[in-house]
Structure 1
Amino acid sequence: MTTQSQESAVKPLFGFRALISDLADWIRRHRMTLGFVLFITLFNVGMQLVCGIRHTQFPPQLSRVSFDALAHGRWYTAPISLLSVPHLGRLLIDIPLILIAFGLCETVIGKAKTAWVSLITTLGGIALGMGLCSLFAGKSPQWHAISHDGAILGPLVVVVGTLMCASAFTAMLWRRRIRVIGYSVVLIMFLYRGEAGDYCLLAAALIGHVLGYLMASESQGDVYRHGALYEMRRLIGMAAGVQAFGSLVAVSSRQSFGLLSMFGLLTGSTEFDTEQVLDCLNGSSHANCFAQYRMMRFTMPGNWLVSLMPTLMLLLIAWGLYRGRRIAAVLSVLFNACTVVLAMLFYVVLPLQYVGDSQADTLPALARHGAFHAMFSTMALPLIFIVIVIAFRQCFTIRTRSEIMLRAVAGALSAFLLLGLMYVGYGLASPEDFNESPQLIALLADYAQRLLPIGLLSGIEPEFVPVGQISLLVYQCVGPAFWIIALLCVWECLRDRSMVNDASRHRVDAIIPLGGESMSFMATWEGNDYWFSATGRSAIAYRVSYGIALTVTGPFGDPNEYTEDLTDFATFCTQHSWTPVFYSVHEPQRAELAKAGWDSLDVGTEMIVNPDEWQTRGKKWQDVRTAINKAKRDGITDVLTTFKEAPFSVQTQIREISAQWAGKKALPEMGFTLGGVDELIDSRVRLLYAVDGNGKVLGVTSWLPTYRDGTIIGWTLDFMRHRTDSVNGIMEFLIARMAERLRDEGNAEFMSLSAAPLAGMGSNKGEHEESEVLRHALQMVADIMEPAYGFHSLFRFKLKFHPDEEKVYICYPDAAKLPQISLAVAQAYVPSLTPAEAMRFVRTITPHD
């Protein structure tokens, strides 16, 4: 056998086996990355074992780099510190980041460049980072901890500079993402934690960025671009995420030296002493003046839950900004404005209550103990963020319906009032449950405190504390209850809403006769959203899930607008923070999208029959000819009608056949490009069913029309069902009879057998690696559903009619969205999958002895 014949005999891999093969290929191409990860893992695990045996702390002092160690010639602490992690749990974060970052570097710039770029950026990062740390932190009270105790640098310092360098060799879209996400993570560490290793991390990133700029011979740009507004809203959303996570980084760090760490410490906890506020203001103490009563409140779970809620709200608002929601921009401005006001109250106004007006040195005392520095540091980021959001308010174009916002405001306000009435009423009715009998004004003031983070209450002496079990429960629960309701109200305003309405469907019904492709009629089905062209003579149907706007085939309506529709729809999607993906489009649309830089992948083969050339002579037609002859002998006839025109008994039997068919499947009936009984009711859809001499319906097919200038030019097979006990060949008989009818009518240009979803996919030479992975992932979805739906058997069945084969494609602009695309396709086909149905499906695909 020749080499060519041997290659053709090799069966392509699909599904799980293909993904495993992809993983094996990735491992072979990234041995250096895997070796580095393995070495770091073994190094830290081994160090942990040694420390455990010797009963010493982990990590040991040897792994901490400090100015004293470097000054005394202990240079070896630097490389050891680069390989060390503060605790083994940190490996769960660092290892995936290293695999992604170093793996990308190996792919983009190669192993050799990855190695020497990593060496340069690491050495330069340590030198520059330690210098910057000395410059900015040398005069701080915490300098002893930085200078003498030392810090663990961690393996991310080795990776970040190389990643920034490699980003210069990627496409513009990837380059922008790598840098924004990379710098966001670095700035979280630097601004909110500020340890020596964070200075090195920032310095290594900057050096790698500059090195990549110098190494790149020319700038690589996108062919497909999202647009300035879309990119800016994403950057602002990411920055808002940094703001939210930064506070968590600050309070989780043992040493918070960052420039903005005071902002994060608003939600933190520290030691307290109720006697120290006056001492601080009188100048007799240099302790932290703003940490009183915090630990008392922190011991109550309800209080620290309230301290976490603002972070969750910031994350939710950041998500809304990322998605381009206008209400998120408004909430961001309001939330940050409240932070500014509260910072002024917390650091300056409230401490003044401890001294009288006769204290002439009150303000100097506050300044001496860092109140103004802390206040301005806390206010800086919120103020900057307010300015940015207002300046770029035009980026946030997606509006929330007024009734949704009114309902959310009413819900939050009602919760605030009702919880307040409950808290105040209980306090007045049960004064014995508190250490002192609370008064109305004190209860109202304390209720407001119950809604604030612990950090904001550090300098406030409580008027009373609960002593009973019920009072303690009420004291702790009103705050979390309000924040949970507020979060739910904001979520209701920010989540995507369906834009389908009756008016849109009427417009689609008017447009569909103007023109379309063989599967365009599927756009009229329920569950689709619609985009209309500026002229209103063409449209595109789509469904949104996982951030993907997945189209139902290509444009339909006026064919002269199809090319422009592709571009305009993509712009529409980017304005709504969706990634446009065209599904089941034919070659003309694929070619147009390819010109714009889109990637494509064939996801099936459509079977086309020419009715004018229909015949069943010859050996290859034996199966079809046998089915026709058998049906005639058994007295089976075919009836062409519509569902509404069919007798009631026929309608009932069709529903029964469909229920019988669906009952055998582990999953519910599919949708998207596969119609069910509901899609048969349309009077424009033809119904061809087989019935025996007793009036028993044995099988049924539906045929969707394709129009051109108001005239039907072809029919597409959709619905196929038969009784479980019907004679063999009933579907072959119905399809053959439809071909004969169209041939005899003589007014149809084609008869399409449609395409089995995700079946008949091929592998193209020169296919991008990303497209190959997507093909494998989609094929895996098809393989999982195959036992339930029989995609591949359906594909093979249609080959019996010897049709002309035309590929249909999925076209996507962004390879970073491959996981979401796979999920969106699966979600589109099975949108109503319940846990019980999923378990049935799992049992179906589990092999049995």
Structure 2
Amino acid sequence: MPEEIPDLEPEFSSAGLSAAARRFLKPEEIDPVGFLADWPVWLVSGTTFLAGLVGIVQPLLVRFEKHPKLLSALVPYELYHLSKTVEIGFALLLIYLSFNLLRRKRTAWWMAVTINALSAGLQLIRIGSEHSIWLADKVSGIDLPNYSAVPPILGCGFLLILHNHFRVKSESKSIRFALITSAVLVFVALSYGTLGFWLLDKIDFGVSFDLQSCIARAFNGITQLGNADLTARTGYAKWFIESLQVVGYITPVFIFASLFRPINYQLNTHPRERHQAEDILNKYGRTSLDRYKLLQDKSYLFSKDGQSFVAYKTVGSIAISLGDPVGPPDKITDMTKQFLNYCHENGWSCAFMQVPGEFLPIYEELNLDVLKIGEDGVVELDKFCSETANKKTFKSPVKKMDRDGFTVVKSSPPHSEEELSEMQAVSDEWLSLPGRRERGFSLGKYDRAELKNDTIYKLIDQNGKMLAFANQVRSYETGETTIDLMRHRVEVPNGAMDFLFVKMMCMLHTEGYTHFSLGLAALSGVGTESDATLQERAVHQVYEHMNRFFSYKGLRNYKNKFAPVWVSRYLVYEGGTPGLVRTTIAIAKATED
């Protein structure tokens, strides 16, 4: 029975006044996070919410004097009451918009400015024609109709002054969809009402309706204007009028919900962008993870000077950067800020996955959360080949494999179709094993076009059959290299993968490489430090108690045989614990796509 070999392809799824002034006037410098930093947004949202509350309560507390008036002119009772009904509708919209203003939605900003202005106008045209029936008796000297226009006027003013804080876009396709949907829903609702009135018997309301009156009454019922002159004489008629009101409530809910969706990003990366990213990596790349920033599933955000970039993927409303931004070290802060602002403008939260510790102070300065997620095992090849490989752990199985006629062969590109087909067969067998599957984002997949240009190390048996292979890929750390895929057949002898690794590493050492990255051991070394955060201690409990399901310890223990130096890797995210949950789910989906 062959030994159980851990899945070595790693994964992680699952200052002052001047600063405040700059943030107030130029929020694009740092798109702030948290209540204190977001106070201008909260001010605008709160004022808009207050304007909505006043718009709801004010019509309940006032009556017209002797005759209904608008702009001091006598008007019919119906028109006066219609103005109050519309005001309540505006008030409800303002309350709804206040929550979307907290999300910095630009569409919500435009609508809030418009509706605040209209709400204030509706209240101002009734000044002098109303009196309060309760408040004026309680607090002398207050004429409620003269003051109720103040909140929407203030809201409108704050919105205009602080307009730079509201830059989150709504997706144009969603807006078009909302408009089309609203048109269809209105048509269907009007058709429903018109047909309903047309089919009513005279006994239901005591009158008969022609087509024009059916349409007019359906419109009045759906828009909540009502049909005050109609009296339902049957239970069916009463139900029909109530059903029209329900349709009138449901229709705008769907419309407004569609208008405020976050951007649904569609990957469309131009080859020129990938070439530009590759050029920047050649100058400023730092880790073995950087190679995966050139995979087809990545989008790119470049700095204005074109010297830095972030490689990311969006899943839902989370934009996940693979590792740190890449560029000159003195430009990393600016690139990080640019990416944060870009995400927030599109209604996304951001995350940086598997980052080393070098730039953690930058993330912490920007009030982002940091969580250790594991450790990368880096083998010093000189020490490994001279000491570790000669210890009993490796010496005995390597000697046995040598004696039995097994060999490790280095195959340089390009590779023949026959060789690629044999590797495909090995890969297919490996994928048939329980728990094995193709992953992406931070790992490569079996791709003949990619493998054709990689150096391959193959384990060959006595009969010349390929039992396993690993493809060498570039690390952008000087003197370091690593592998991407490591796959074997279902039936391999005990010690086969140890044999492949020992031979391959010593060959690489002979070629001049100084270090070899074994990749991430997920959750390894998390929560063991004395200053570990509560989240890291929780992750440590997962590592200790969920190992039976995910074999986290097995992967760590296997890699430990190579005596690596363990280098911490972190997840940077925003949104506290809820944000961590959303980000973890998004990363799991990103690696499975």
Same fold by TM-score, threshold 0.5 exceeded? yes
Aligned equivalents of 1:601, 1:278: Cα separation in 2: 62
Task: Tell whether the 8 Å contact from 1:427 to 1:438 is kept in structure 2 after alignment.
Answer: yes
Residues 531, 541 of structure 1: 8 Å contact kept: yes
Give yes or no for the alignment of 1:327 onto 2:107: yes
Aligned length: 536
Q: Specify the SS of the correspondent of 2:181.
A: helix
How far residue 798 of structure 1 moved from its aligned partner, in angstroms, is: 1.0
Q: Does 1:551 align with 2:551?
A: no
User: Residue 819 of structure 1: CA displacement?
Assistant: 3.6
Conservation of the 8 A alpha-carbon contact between 1:324 and 1:396: yes
Name the counterpart of 1:367.
131
Q: Which residue of 1 aligns with 2:228?
A: 461
Alpha-carbon shift at residue 540 of structure 1 (Å): 1.9
- The one of 567, 584, 588 equivalent to 1:825 is 584
Structure 1 residue 631 displacement after superposition: 3.5
Aligned to 2:4: none
Q: Whole-Å Cα distance in 1 between the matches of residues 37 and 455 of structure 2?
A: 44
What letter matches 1:437 in structure 2? S
Q: Tell me whether 1:262 sits opposite 2:69 in the alignment.
A: no
Higher helix share: 1
Shift in Å at residue 755 of structure 1? 1.8
Give distance in 2, aligned partners of 1:434 and 1:659.
69
Task: State yes or no: 1:479 paired with 2:245.
Answer: no
Distance, in Å, in 2 between the alignment partners of 1:761 and 1:797 is 18
Residues 7-46 of structure 1: per-residue CA shift (max 9 Å, x gap): xxxxxxxxxxxxxxxxxxxxxxxxxxxxxxxxxxxxxxxx
Give the CA deviation at 1:738.
2.5
The structural deviation recorded for 1:553 is 1.4
| Residues 563, 378 of structure 1: alpha-carbon distance in 2 compared, 3 angstrom cutoff | closer
**Pick aligned residue for 1:779 from 531, 540, 550:** 540
Q: Match for residue 33 of structure 1?
A: none
Cα deviations across residues 475-505 of structure 1 (Å, max 9, x unaligned)?
34532442243134324xx323226422244
Residue 701 of structure 1 aligns to a residue in which SS? Answer: strand
Aligned pairs for 1:17-32 within 5 A? none
SS in 2 for 1:751: strand
From 504, 515, 534, give the equivalent of 1:750: 515
Matched, 1:764 2:529: yes
Question: How is 1:379-528 mapped onto 2 (pairs within 5 angstroms)?
Answer: 379-430=149-200, 432=202, 434-435=204-205, 436-439=207-210, 442-452=213-223, 461-463=228-230, 465=232, 467=234, 468=236, 471=240, 475-491=244-260, 494-498=261-265, 500-503=267-270, 504-516=273-285, 517-528=287-298
1:189-268 alignment runs, 5 A limit: 231=38, 234-236=41-43, 238-239=45-46, 242=49, 262=57
Residue 72 of structure 2 corresponds to: none
Supply the RMSD in Å over aligned alpha carbons: 4.8
Structure 1 residue 598, shift from structure 2 partner: 6.7
Shift, 1:513, TM fit: 2.8
Shift of 1:586: 2.3
- Find the residue that maps to 2:256 and give its secondary structure: helix
Query: Aligned partners of 1:225 and 1:384: how far apart in 2?
Result: 24
Q: 2:31·2:341 contact (CA, 8 Å) conserved in 1? A: no
- Which residue is equivalent to 2:567? 806
What SS class does the counterpart of residue 754 from structure 1 fall into?
Answer: strand
User: How many Å separate the matches in 2 of 1:237 and 1:669?
Assistant: 48
Query: Secondary structure, in 3 states, of the residue corresponding to 1:588?
Result: coil
Give the Cα–Cα distance (whole angstroms) in 2 for the partners of residues 690 and 234 of structure 1. Answer: 61
Q: CA 1:614–1:763 in 2, change beyond 3 Å: closer, same or farther?
A: closer
Instruction: Please state how far the C-alpha of 1:329 moved relative to its aligned partner.
Output: 1.4
Aligned residue for 2:375, secondary structure, equals: strand
The equivalent of 2:9 in structure 1 is none
* Pairing 1:41-56 to 2, within 5 Å after superposition: none
Q: For residues 789 and 735 of structure 1, do their structure 2 counterparts lie closer, same or farther at Cα, with a shift above 3 Å needed?
A: farther
| C-alpha distance in structure 1 between counterparts of 2:178 and 2:338, whole Å | 33
Given residue 435 of structure 2, which amino acid in structure 1 is its aligned partner?
K
State the SS of the aligned residue for 1:385: helix
Does the 8 A contact of 2:106 with 2:169 survive in 1?
Answer: yes
Give the alignment of 1:559-570 within 5 angstroms.
561-562=331-332, 564-570=334-340
Counterpart of 1:664, as a letter, is G
SS in 2 for 1:587: coil
Q: 2:288 aligns to what SS in structure 1?
A: coil
Alignment partner of 2:526: what SS?
coil
- Distance in 1, matches of 2:551 and 2:559, equals 12
Q: 1:309 and 1:579 mapped to 2: Cα distance?
A: 31
Given the alignment, which residue of 539, 553, 557 partners 1:796? Answer: 557
What secondary structure does 1:521 align onto?
helix
The reply to whether residue 717 of structure 1 matches residue 483 of structure 2 is yes
Q: In the TM superposition, what whole-angstrom CA distance separates every residue of 1:773-804 from its partner, at most 9, and x where no partner exists?
A: 12123335556764444222111211111123
Q: Is the 8 A contact 1:584 1:808 kept in 2?
A: yes
Q: Classify 1:829/1:445 alpha carbon distance in 2 versus 1 (closer, same or farther; 3 Å).
A: same
More strand by share: 2
Cα gap change, 1:447/1:630 in structure 2, threshold over 3 Å: closer, same or farther?
Answer: farther
2:492 maps to what in 1? Answer: 726
Equivalent pair of 2:389/2:502 in contact (CA under 8 Å): no
Identity between Structure 1 and Structure 2 (%): 19
| Amino acid across the alignment from 2:131 | A
- 2: CA distance, partners of 1:677 / 1:784: 33
8 Å CA contact 1:671–1:830 kept in 2: the answer is no
Q: Is the 8 A contact 2:44 2:155 kept in 1?
A: no
* Runs of at least 5 residues in structure 1 that lack an aligned partner in the other structure: 1-170, 177-222, 248-258, 267-276, 283-289, 295-306, 350-362, 835-849
Instruction: Say if 1:440 and 1:381 are closer, same or farther in 2 by CA, change over 3 A.
Output: farther
Q: Tell me how far 1:519 sits from its aligned partner.
A: 1.4
What corresponds to 1:115 in structure 2?
none
What SS class does the counterpart of residue 309 from structure 2 fall into? strand
* Pairwise CA distance, 1:655: 4.1
Q: Using a 3 Å threshold, how does the CA distance of structure 1 residues 630 and 412 change in structure 2: closer, same or farther?
A: farther
Quick one: which amino acid aligns to residue 538 of structure 1?
Answer: S
What is the CA–CA distance in structure 2 between the aligned matches of 1:262 and 1:514, rounded to whole Å? Answer: 64
**CA pair 807-619 structure 1, distance change in 2 beyond 3 A:** same
Pick the aligned partner of 1:635 from 403, 406, 418. Answer: 406
Whether the aligned pair in 2 keeps the contact of 1:653 and 1:697 (CA below 8 Å) is no
SS in 2 for 1:437: coil
8 Å contact 2:56–2:91 — kept in the other structure?
A: no
Task: Measure how far apart 1:396 and its partner are.
Answer: 1.8
Task: Write out per-residue CA displacement over residues 505-556 of structure 1, whole angstroms, 9 at most, x where no aligned residue.
Answer: 4543443333312211222335544332222222122355687654321122
Aligned to 2:375: 605
Q: CA deviation at 1:589?
A: 2.0
Q: Does 1:615 align with 2:373?
A: no
1:554–1:472 distance in 2 versus 1, CA, 3 Å: same
Please give the per-residue CA displacement for 1:374-421, whole angstroms capped at 9, x wherever unaligned.
766665444433332233222222333444433322322232234223
Q: Is the 8 A contact 1:420 1:447 kept in 2?
A: yes
Within a 5 Å distance, the mapping from 1:653-672 to structure 2 comes to: 653-661=425-433, 663-664=434-435, 671-672=440-441
Q: 1:817 deviation in Å? A: 1.5
Q: 1:690 aligns with which of 447, 455, 459?
A: 459
Separation in 2 of the partners of 1:688 and 1:495? 46
* Contact kept in structure 1, 2:64 and 2:131, CA below 8 Å: no
How far is the alpha carbon of 1:325 from its aligned partner? 2.3
